Structure 1
C-alpha cells in the first residue's frame, strides 16, 4: 500500500527519499524532509495493516499507558503512526521518549521490541525489548530539571500475580510522590524478584499479593533479614519512611 501511495508522488520526492522508496519504503514515514512530511500526511497508517495478534498486543499497551496516565497526572503519551526504526528485526512496538526541547534534539531515547533477533542470531526464541539513548541529551535534560541528589534505591515492589501490576503502578506512584525511590520488579518468580531486589541494593521489598490487594495493605520484607516481615496499610507513608531511615 505504501509503495502504491508514494509511487504517485515519486517525482516530487527529494533525492534521499527516492532512494528510500527503492530500498525501504517504510522509512518514508519517518522522513525529515518537509516535502515528504507533507506527502506522508495522507499515507496509509501502519495500525490499519497489523495482524490480530499485534492488534491485541497494541491494545494491551494502550491499556497500560492509560493506567499510568490516570494514576500519574504528569505522564503523557501520543500514538505516532509514522514512527519507524531503521533495522528490520524490530517488531510490534517502537517508541521514543521526548524531553522538553522541540525537534529531533528533543528525543532522549528510542527503542522498541525485537522478539525475533536472538533466534535470528542462532539463540533460543527469546522476547526482547530495548532502547538506546543519547548521554549528552540526558545530561542536558537533568541539568535543566535540577541535579539528582540521591540515587539510592529505597523500594522494589514484588508482584505475585501479573494481574496486580496495575496496583503496583499505583503503589509506586504513591511512594514516588512522597520521595521514596521505587521500581517494580520484572516478571519473575517470587524468589527471582527478591533476588532482583537484593541485586539492586534496595532497602526494602514491598510484596503485593492477593491478600494485600484485598486488604489494601502491603507486606514489607527487610532484605537484610531472612525472616523479618511486616504488614502495613498501603497509605502508611510515615511508617514506611521511618523503616527506610532505620535501614540506612
Structure 2
C-alpha cells in the first residue's frame, strides 16, 4: 500500500483516533442487548480477545461503521471530563483508517444531510441542530460491508485504571503440568493443558492509562503492564 501524504497537522488536529468502548447516552436499538449491557471494560476485553472491531449503523444511517473520535490531548480531556465518554478503548491513526477506506464525517444542516442520504452517503455525514449536538466528537468512520473488521495491531490501548488487566485467553501453546515442559499438543493426558496468558494485542501494544487527576494519559511501552 502506498504511503499516504497527510499534509500539515495543526495543534487543533490529532493523528490519534479513539474508538471508545464506553459512551454515555442512548444507543441505536439495533445494537444487541448483550453488548449494550456490557461495561466499557467488558467491551474492550472482547476486542482484545477477538482481535476485531464490531461495526453497527450509527443513528440516521443503515451502513455499518466502526466509529472513532479525533482528539488532541486537551480535547481528549474535554471529551472525558464532560461525561460523554469513558477512558476505555483502542487508539488508531489517521493513515491507517484512511488506508482502509475510512475518513472524517461532515457536520451539515438537515437539508444537506438529506442530499447525502439521497445518494446513499448518509454514513459520511452527521446532522447539526439542537437535537443532534455532536460536533465536539470530531467523528471519523470506517464503513464496512460486514459486521466487523479484524485488527492485527493498534497504536495503543486506552484504560481508565492502571491496575486493570484483561482476562487471560488461550494462547495455542500446551504444557505438561507434571514437568513444566512444553507439550506438542493435547494427547489425552490430564497433565497436559493449554497455556493461558494476556491477549496478544495487550502484550504487543502501548498502554495509555487515563489519569483523572492530571487530565492526561500516562503512556507505557508494549509489555510494561503485562
Which gives a bigger RCO, structure 1 or 2 (Cα 8 Å, sep 6+)?
2
TM-score normalised by the chain length of structure 1:
0.22
User: Could you state the TM-score of these two structures normalised by the residue count of structure 2?
Assistant: 0.23
Relative to its length, the structure with more helix (as a share) is 1
